[in-house]
A = this chain, B = another copy of it.
Amino acid sequence: MTRVAVICGGVGAARLLNGLIRVTDPAGVTAIANVGDDVVLHGLHISPDLDTITYTTAGAVSGERGWGLEGETWQAMTELGHYGGDGNRNWFSLGDRDLGTHLYRTSRLAEGAPLSSVTAEIAARWGLRFDLVPVTNDRLRTFVTTVDEGEIAFQEYFVRRQHAVAVTAVRFEGAEAATPAPGVLDAIATAERIVIAPSNPVVSIDPVLAVPGVRDALAARRADVVAVSPIIGGKALKGPADRLMTELGREASVVGVADWYRDLIGTLVVDEVDADAGPEVEALGMTCVAMPTIMASVEVTDALARACLAGGR
């Protein structure tokens, strides 16, 4: 059994995990997920990345949306939309079935269960055969500083404003005081392979790295760490990774990604359209592998997963 640790954001990570658990024994896979985009809304604790990974790998995610459940209904949100002065309390869509997950998580956390235990319980209900672990059980929240409105919470930026505002800084509140959840550092230390999923480096992977001990644990395994670039031909497939990198003064390209992770990874997998950048990536002290990375088919996904397991080779 190959032991693999995967540093995860949401959609891109979930899709790569789908491949990994097909091409290797799921029991050897530990997914370490971002919780910086967790949010308490209407009293409910919502963990978008954990849920996207769970629903996706359970085969229950909405294919159209990429988040939430297939065949979802929206009665609660419709009703919520009837309330309140600003008429816009339902900007963060919570499907009726999805609410069951949030109600459960919120109950268990209120009972004193750590998020990692609750996550394992939710994973068990969905039949996940790999380990899904939040990077920390402590409160970690991503904030972004916007040009027009100052600092706002991540979901205010990402969902409410549909990441259509310029960002000058990112902060991970609680990171300094957070400790890695049980199993996180051990999974990184003992895995044969560590994969940084094609998630947003700035707001999905960086909050994971901001938990004390995680960055060092990766750096210590640098030769065995493979990242998949979320930037393809200078653009993010989904989400604001390209704009965020530019706004923060970095290059929105596979070279920019290589530079972002340069102390942590031995290999960067880039899309075939970025093959030309290979030498520039390798000049940063890592191996560059170019191959199809758009996970629109099982074949591409599984080949990408196999390449990650092989260290890109």
Whether a CB of chain B sits under 8 angstroms from the CB of A78 is yes
Choose from B73, B75, B81, B110 the contact partner of A43 (Cβ within 8 Å): B110
* Bound-state Cα–Cα, A81 to B125, Å: 10
B43→A84 contact, CB < 8 A:
no
Choose from B43, B82, B94 the contact partner of A45 (Cβ within 8 Å): B43
**A43: chain B residues within 8 A (beta carbon):** 43-45, 103, 106-107, 110
Whether a CB of chain B sits under 8 angstroms from the CB of A181 is no
* Bound-state Cα–Cα, A73 to B78, Å: 13
Task: Give, as a whole number of angstroms, the nearest-CB distance from A246 to chain B.
Answer: 35
**A101: chain B residues within 8 A (beta carbon):** 79, 83
A42→B73 contact, CB < 8 A:
no
Query: Which residue of the partner chain B has the closest CB to A122?
Result: B83
**A186: chain B residues within 8 A (beta carbon):** none
* Bound-state Cα–Cα, A96 to B72, Å: 12
- Stoichiometry, as copies per complex, reads 2
**Chain A residues close to B by CB (< 8 Å):** 41-45, 73, 75-85, 89, 94-101, 103-104, 106-108, 110, 121-122, 125
* Bound-state Cα–Cα, A78 to B98, Å: 11
Name A's interface SS. Answer: helix
Query: Which residue of the partner chain B has the closest CB to A42?
Result: B103
* Bound-state Cα–Cα, A76 to B84, Å: 22
Which of A44, A76, A96 gathers the greatest number of chain B CB atoms within 10 Å?
A: A76
Choose from B42, B96, B110, B125 the contact partner of A76 (Cβ within 8 Å): B96
A42→B42 contact, CB < 8 A:
no
B83→A125 contact, CB < 8 A:
yes
Given contacts A80-B103, A96-B99, 5 further A-B contacts (CB under 8 A): A43-B106, A44-B103, A79-B99, A82-B125, A84-B121
Which of A43, A73, A84 gathers the greatest number of chain B CB atoms within 10 Å?
A: A43
Choose from B79, B80, B100 the contact partner of A79 (Cβ within 8 Å): B100
* Bound-state Cα–Cα, A243 to B108, Å: 34
Task: Give, as a whole number of angstroms, the nearest-CB distance from A248 to chain B.
Answer: 32
List the 3 closest pairs (A to B, CB-CB), nearest first: A79-B100, A75-B96, A43-B106
B104→A83 contact, CB < 8 A:
yes
Query: Which residue of the partner chain B has the closest CB to A85?
Result: B121
* Bound-state Cα–Cα, A272 to B201, Å: 75
A76→B100 contact, CB < 8 A:
yes
B121→A97 contact, CB < 8 A:
no
**A107: chain B residues within 8 A (beta carbon):** 41-43, 84, 89
